[in-house]
Amino acid sequence: MFRNFLGGIHPKDGKELAKAQPIEAMPLPSEVVIPMSQHIGAPCTPTVKVGDMVKRGQVIGTSEAFMHADIHASLSGKVTKIDVFPHSGRISCQAVVIESDGQDAWLEGLPLHRDWEKMEKEEILDAIRSAGIVGMGGATFPAHIKLKPSKSVDVLIINGAECEPYLTADYRLMLEEPQRIVTGTRILARILGVKETYIGIEDNKPDAIAALETACEGTGIQVAPLKTKYPQGAEKMLIYAISGREVPCGGLPMDVGAVVQNAGTVAAIADAVVEGLPLTERVTTVSGDAVKHPKNLRIRIGTRYRDVIDYCGGFGEQPDKLLAGGPMMGFAQFSLDVPVMKGSSGILGLTKNITAHGRERACIRCGRCVKACPMGLVPSMLSILGERQAYARARDDYGVMNCIECGSCTFVCPAKRNIVQYIRLTKGELRAEMAREKAKAAKEQGAKK
Amino acid sequence: MSEEVMKKPETAQDPVFTISSSPHIRDGESIDHIMWQVNLALLPAAVFAVYWFGIPALINMLVGIIFAIASEYVWQRAMGQPITAFDGSACITGLLLAMSMSPLLPPYMVAVGSALAIVVAKQSMGGLGFNIFNPAHIGRAALMVSWPIAMTTWSAMGDASGGVDAVTSATPLNILKLQGYDALVNTFGGQGEMYQALLLGTRNGSLGETSTLLLLLGGGYLIWKGYVNWVVPAVMLLTVAVLTWIFGPAGLFTGDPLFHVMAGGLILGAFFMATDMVTIPMTIKGQIIFAAGAGAITVLIRLVGGYPEGVCYSLLLMNAVTPLIDRLVKPRIFGAGEGK
pLDDT in tens, chain B (340 residues): 444 444 445 555 788 999 999 999 999 999 999 999 999 999 999 999 999 999 999 999 999 999 999 999 999 999 999 999 999 999 999 999 999 999 999 999 999 999 999 999 999 999 999 999 999 999 999 999 999 988 888 875 544 444 444 344 678 888 888 888 888 888 888 888 899 999 998 888 899 998 999 999 999 999 999 999 999 999 999 999 999 999 988 889 999 999 999 999 999 999 999 999 999 999 999 999 999 999 999 999 999 988 888 899 999 999 999 999 999 999 999 998 754 3
Q: A330–B22: do the CB atoms touch at under 8 Å?
A: yes
Whether the CB-CB separation of A411 and A372 falls below 8 Å is answered with yes
Which residues of B, range 299-328, sit inside 8 Å of A by Cβ? 326-327
CA B87, B91, B96, B99: dihedral to nearest 10 degrees?
-150
Q: Which of A384, A379, A381 is nearest to A404 (CA)?
A: A379
Same domain, A264 and A372: no
A4 touches chain B (CB under 8 A): no
Q: Which long-range contacts (CB under 8 A, 24 or more apart) does B139-146 make?
A: B139/B93, B139/B97, B139/B113, B139/B114, B140/B97, B140/B100, B140/B101, B140/B113, B140/B312, B141/B312, B141/B313, B141/B316, B142/B113, B142/B116, B142/B117, B143/B101, B143/B105, B143/B109, B143/B112, B143/B113, B143/B116, B144/B312, B146/B109, B146/B112
Whether the CB-CB separation of A70 and A130 falls below 8 Å is answered with yes
Q: Which of A108, A191, A198, A107 is nearest to A155 (CA)?
A: A198
- Domain termination residue (choose one: A249, A275, A301): A275
Same domain, A269 and A381: no
Q: A370–B283: do the CB atoms touch at under 8 Å?
A: yes
**Residue A345 included in any domain:** no
- Domain termination residue (choose one: A253, A275, A297): A275
Alpha-carbon distances of B211 from A66, A94, B37, B261, B262, rounded to whole Å: 72, 72, 19, 12, 9
pLDDT for position B156: 58
Listing DSSP states for B228-296 in one string gives S-THHHHHHHHHHHHHHHHEETTEET---HHHHHHSTTHHHIIIIITT-GGGS-SSHHHHHHHHHHHHH
Same domain, A158 and A261: yes
Q: Any alpha helices (H) in A193-335, and if so which ranges?
A: 206-216, 235-243, 263-270, 305-311
Distance CA B143, CA B114 (A): 10
Distance from CA of B45 to the nearest CA of A (A): 24
Nearest C-alpha in B relative to A359: B30
Q: Dihedrals φ, ψ of B20, to 5°?
A: -160, 165
Q: Which of A420, A344, A428, A376 is nearest to A237 (CA)?
A: A376
Same domain, A372 and A265: no
Q: What are the start-end ranges of the E strands in A76-127?
A: 77-87, 91-100
Contacts of B333 in chain A (CB under 8 A): 249, 375-377, 399, 402
B13 touches chain A (CB under 8 A): no
Report the SS3 class of residue A232: coil
Distance CA A82, CA A65 (A): 21
**Residue A252 included in any domain:** yes
Total of domains in chain A: 2
A376 touches chain B (CB under 8 A): yes
Q: Which of A350, A200, A351, A340 is nearest to A284 (CA)?
A: A340
Of B14, B18, B25, the CB nearest to A336: B14
Distance from CA of A124 to the nearest CA of B (A): 33
Same domain, A372 and A271: no
**Residue A335 included in any domain:** no
**Residue A30 included in any domain:** no
Of A11, A315, A323, the CB nearest to B27: A11
B84 touches chain A (CB under 8 A): yes
Report the SS3 class of residue A417: coil
- Domain termination residue (choose one: A222, A255, A275): A275
A119-151 CB burial, b ≥16 within 10 A, e <16: beeeebbebbbbbbbbbbbbbbbbbbbbbebee
- Mutation for A interface: B11, B27, B275, most A CBs within 10 A: B27
Strand partners of residue A291: A315
Q: A375–B334: do the CB atoms touch at under 8 Å?
A: yes
Question: For residue A180, what is the DSSP state?
Answer: H
Distance CA A345, CA A273 (A): 22
Within 13 Å and on the Cβ side, how many CA atoms surround A234? 27
Phi/psi region, residue B133 (left: phi>0; alpha: psi -120 to 50; beta: rest), is: beta
Q: A414–B29: do the CB atoms touch at under 8 Å?
A: yes
Q: Which of A171, A137, A174, A161 is nearest to A228 (CA)?
A: A161
Same domain, A245 and A380: no
Same domain, A130 and A251: yes
- Mutation for A interface: B25, B32, B36, most A CBs within 10 A: B25
- What is the torsional sign of CA B121, B127, B132, B136? positive
| Mean pLDDT score across all residues of chain A | 94
Report the SS3 class of residue A408: helix
Report the SS3 class of residue A93: strand
Distance CA B158, CA A177 (A): 76
Whether the CB-CB separation of A332 and B19 falls below 8 Å is answered with yes
Q: B26–A377: do the CB atoms touch at under 8 Å?
A: no
Domain assignment of residue A419, given as a range? 368-448
The CATH number linked to A260 is 3.40.50.11540
**Residue A314 included in any domain:** no
ipTM summary value: 0.90
Distance from CA of A291 to the nearest CA of B (A): 13
User: Cβ of B183: how many Cβ atoms within 10 Å?
Assistant: 11
Distance CA A288, CA B72 (A): 41
- Tens of pLDDT along chain A (449 residues) come to 678 899 999 999 999 999 999 999 999 999 999 999 999 999 999 999 999 999 999 999 999 999 999 999 999 999 999 999 999 988 899 999 999 999 999 998 878 888 998 899 999 999 999 999 999 988 899 999 999 999 999 999 999 999 999 999 999 999 999 999 999 999 999 999 999 999 999 999 999 999 999 999 999 999 999 999 999 999 999 999 999 999 999 999 999 999 999 999 999 999 999 999 999 999 999 999 999 999 999 999 999 999 999 999 999 999 999 999 999 999 999 999 999 999 999 999 999 999 998 899 999 999 999 999 999 999 999 999 999 999 999 999 999 999 999 999 999 999 999 999 999 999 999 999 999 999 999 888 887 76
Pairing of strands A45-46, A155-160: unpaired
Contacts of A363 in chain B (CB under 8 A): 129
pLDDT for position B167: 41
B28 touches chain A (CB under 8 A): no
Q: A330–B283: do the CB atoms touch at under 8 Å?
A: no
pLDDT for position B164: 42
Alpha-carbon distances of A179 from A215, A219, A307, A310, rounded to whole Å: 6, 11, 30, 31
Of A245, A328, A362, the CB nearest to B22: A328
**Residue A62 included in any domain:** no
End-to-end CA distance of chain A: 61
Overall size of chain A counted in residues? 449
Distance from CA of A250 to the nearest CA of B (A): 8
Listing DSSP states for A248-261 in one string gives PTT--GGGGTEEEE
Distance CA B334, CA A401 (A): 12
Instruction: Name residues whose C-beta falls within 8 Å of residue A292's C-beta, 6 or more positions apart in sequence.
Output: A312, A313, A314, A315, A316
Phi/psi region, residue B148 (left: phi>0; alpha: psi -120 to 50; beta: rest), is: alpha
Alpha-carbon distances of B205 from A132, A320, B64, B100, B258, rounded to whole Å: 76, 56, 18, 9, 17
Distance CA B87, CA B213 (A): 28
Same domain, A259 and A376: no
**Residue A195 included in any domain:** yes
**Residue A41 included in any domain:** no
Strand A91-100: give its sheet, edge to edge.
A31-35, A91-100, A77-87, A53-54
Whole-prediction pTM value? Answer: 0.91
- Mutation for B interface: A364, A410, A423, most B CBs within 10 A: A364
Q: A412–B29: do the CB atoms touch at under 8 Å?
A: yes
